[in-house]
Amino acid sequence: MQALIEKARVLIEALPFISEFRGKTVVVKIGGAALEDDVLRRRFCEDVILLDWVGIHVVVVHGGGKQITTMLDKIGLAARFVDGIRVTDEATLEVVGMVLGGSLNQELVRLVNHLGGAAVGLTGADGGLARAKITQPELGRVGEVVAVDRTVIDRLLADFIPIIAPVAAGDDGGALNVNADVFAGKLAQALGAAKLVLLTDISGVLDADRQLIPTLTPTHAKRMVEAGVIRGGMIPKVDNALAALAAGVQKVHIIDGRLEHALLLEIFTQDGVGTQLVPDPL
């Protein structure tokens, strides 16, 4: 009986958050272990379905870097990177399209639908959703999003969970590979999202003692970058989060996708499980 009571308490704790975010949009980027591990991927899809069922508009953006590299290895193409960014020549772009816009996207859509949700898969090139331009020619067909047309998302959200691959249309009409974190951030900005949630393979932003920081403001974050506390691959994630906040996204969450049901725990509990970035107090 006590276990049942505890379950009821968890549901009661979630009620204020359900009320607060019902009818609002949450953009979630999934990558890393949460995308690669079968159990974690299933738990993530369950979380997304629950959010949708309680009236929160969920938009999913997925990465797939490791899956792209695996496919390149299978067909005998070498993966090349410059400063951590994949060099995307025409041959690599074909694989990016096959994996991101094809097998991986369809797998997530099928899983959500199988579990009782209603998902539709698309890329940033569908419905004129995202337009990008090449800013670093040495990277090949890699783009930065310069415009988002939310029309197709608005039409889908009434009935479906959009699951989006970060491939955008270039000025020449061809496809461009886009960083999934940045793509999700630009989408969250255009949709006026209440939250942008980034699932990563670490617990969140850590302080100098390697302890999790539950809440972080832009001023504090910039000081930590200058001091070298925030470093390496976390810097672009934080920069992307700060850009989203500056563009009107209310909160950005960096959470550990290796934790089962991390998405629900971050959104529906008081303490959360990762780092939330919020605007500086007025």
Tell me how crowded residue 53 is: count the other CB atoms within 10 A of its CB: 10
Confidence at residue 184, expressed as pLDDT on a 0 to 100 scale: 95
**Phi, psi dihedral angles at 172 (to 5 degrees):** -90, 5
- Domain regions of the chain by residue span: 23-277
Q: Is the pLDDT of residue 233 over 70?
A: yes
Mean pLDDT confidence for 11-15: 78
Q: What is the pLDDT of residues 163-176, one digit of tens each?
A: 999 999 999 999 99
In the chain, % of residues over pLDDT 70: 97
Tokens, residue 277: 């970035």
Q: Average pLDDT in the 62-91 region?
A: 90
Residue type for 118, please? Answer: A
Q: What is the mean pLDDT of residues 57-83?
A: 92
Q: Which amino acid is at 74?
A: K
Q: Which CATH superfamily is domain 23-277 in?
A: Acetylglutamate kinase-like (3.40.1160.10)
Q: Give the model confidence (pLDDT) of 173-229 as tens digits.
A: 999 999 999 999 999 999 999 999 999 998 899 988 899 999 999 999 999 999 999
pLDDT tens track for 107-159: 999 999 999 999 999 999 999 999 999 999 999 999 999 999 999 999 999 89
Predicted local confidence at residue 182, as pLDDT = 92
1 — pLDDT class (breaks 50, 70, 90): low
Confidence of residue 5 (pLDDT cuts 50, 70, 90): low
- Looking only at the bridges linking them, the beta strands covering 85-86 and 81-82 are antiparallel
For 169, phi and psi rounded to 5 degrees?
-90, 135
